[in-house]
Amino acid sequence: AIQLTQSPSSLSASVGDRVTITCRASQGFSSALAWYQQKPGEAPKLLISHASNLESGVPSRFSGSGSGTDFTLTISSLQPEDFATYYCQQFNNYPLTFGGGTKVEIK
């Protein structure tokens, strides 16, 4: 199974900051990676698919990049509603796997 390691596991940032979250895979693949946002008590929300495809309705301050074993999620200017936990997920093969999550907290 492909293991996904997210870093950092948590971070503190201020509104307006640029935030970058990394997802490293135990084996390489092209672009079969998605990013989700989850707020407390809510179901996850799909933000990005295929490493860099922004979902309809997701603000353009979110972007994704990468291929192979290293992928990143960037929030260009953190907004109050962005404080949440973010997960990467690979869909290159089964079993599907998630990263451990990155909690973005208010500084």
Partner 1 sequence: EVQLVESGGGLVQPGGSLRLSCASSGFTFSSYAMSWVRQAPGKGLEWVSALTGSGSTTYYTDSVKGRFTISRDNSKSTLYLQMNSLRAEDTAVYHCAKVRHGGDVFDIWGQGTMVTVSS
Would you say 49 or 78 has its CB closer to partner 1?
49
| Residues 71-100 as x/- pattern, contact with partner 1 by CB under 8 A | ----------------x-x-x--xxxxxxx
Burial 71-97 (b: 16+ CB within 10 A, else e): bbbebeebeeebbbbbbbbbeeeeeeb
Instruction: Establish if 38 lies at the interface with partner 1 (CB under 8 A).
Output: yes
* 5 is a contact residue toward partner 1 (CB under 8 A): no
- Interface with partner 1, residue 32, by CB under 8 A: yes
Tokens found for residue 67: 């291929």
Q: Does 52 bind partner 1 (CB under 8 A)?
A: no
Q: Which amino acid is at 17?
A: D
